[in-house]
Amino acid sequence: MRVTVCCLRQRQRQELEWDRGAASFDGTPVRDVTVADLDGAQLSDYQRTLGSSSPELALRARDLITRDGAVSVAGYLLFASRPQMLFPNAHVRVLKYQQNERGAGRTLNLEDDADIRCEGSIPEQIARATAAIEGMVNAVVHRSYSIGGDHVRVEIFPNRIEVTSPGRFPGLVIPADPASISRNARNPRIARVCADLGVTQELGEGIRRMFAEMRRAGLSDPKYVQGQEAVRLTLMATLAPSDRVAREIGPNAMRILDALRLAQRPLSTGQLVELVGMARSTVLRHLNALRGAELVVWEGESQRDPRATWRAV
């Protein structure tokens, strides 16, 4: 572990420390920012919410200012009229596409007037983007604000919604079973104030609620993919297999089906072997089970066609 950490860049090492909970970035003071630089109307509303006698006492109650009056990152993101002045990527971008593929350049298939940037304080961003999804709220509250090169993106396709949030899952969490993830707030001050304002419940129930709502609608479970510096949540508009079918084909076949659905394109057997990390014979066996359940389709000229692919129905 020591060798691995030593090889990380300075920013990655600092991010790892914050993720471990040794310290939190949202508690770091913002240089040369005081309470006078915050939005008075938003502060007054929050003061009334807490029942405090002054805005300063409300901020101190949530550790949003230091003893000498410096405003923390959390306080600035929550109550500045436009925190993007110092944190330019602390915003949500909502994009809506006409087709299931993004395209690029001239073939970029965004709908007209469907690239919306939601700025302002964190509560304002959430209010402006609230028509998206529960996953967007989680992304805004729990993203890594110490990573300055990217923003939260909500991308809406005809067959899915993708939410990309800067930062990995906090601590040592592995997103293979996200429904079992316990509460681990990366930004505890931001999470507490959002709970005060009724935006969240601060119970670690956001992920579980998404799973429950998707299952209630008969849709596939939410899917998380963790990259080097971001987490992507995908909500598919595809029906989940029945409990009976899921039991019959087994969890490994479901993993292969998830990989095909997330890929959003036909894949060869070899590509699926690389994605799921199973032996080729095992992948073929599960693919045939999925084919028998009419969940995937094989497309090729012959059984030996090297260009043959599998497609999720």
Write out pLDDT tens, residues 3-26: 444 545 666 666 655 555 546 788
Inter-residue contact 242 to 254 (CB < 8 Å):
no
DSSP label of 80: -
Rounded Cα distance, 152 and 163, in Å: 7
Instruction: Give the position of tokens 């993007």.
Output: 84
Number of C-beta neighbours around residue 70 at 10 A: 16
Q: What is the pLDDT of residue 176?
A: 64
Quote the strand ranges of the chain, DSSP E: 92-97, 110-118, 152-157, 160-166, 223-226, 230-236, 296-299, 309-312
Question: Taking the domain 24-240, which CATH number applies?
Answer: 3.30.565.60
User: DSSP string of 233-244?
Assistant: EEEE-SBPPPHH
- Tell me the β-bridge partners of 232: 164, 225
With the CA atoms of 193, 197, 198 and 201 taken in that order, what torsion angle do they form, in degrees rounded to the nearest 10?
10
Rounded mean pLDDT for each run of 10 residues along the chain, 313 residues in total: 51 59 78 93 94 94 91 95 93 89 81 86 86 72 82 89 85 62 76 87 70 85 86 88 92 92 90 94 95 94 89 90
Write out pLDDT tens, residues 95-126: 989 888 888 877 788 888 788 888 999 999 88
Global pTM reads 0.74
- Tell me the β-bridge partners of 225: 232
CATH fold for domain 243-312: Arc Repressor Mutant, subunit A (1.10.10)
What residue type is assigned to position 100 of the chain?
Answer: N
275 membership: H or E segment, kind and range: helix 269-276
Query: What are the structural domain ranges in the chain?
Result: 24-240, 243-312
Inter-residue contact 19 to 31 (CB < 8 Å):
no
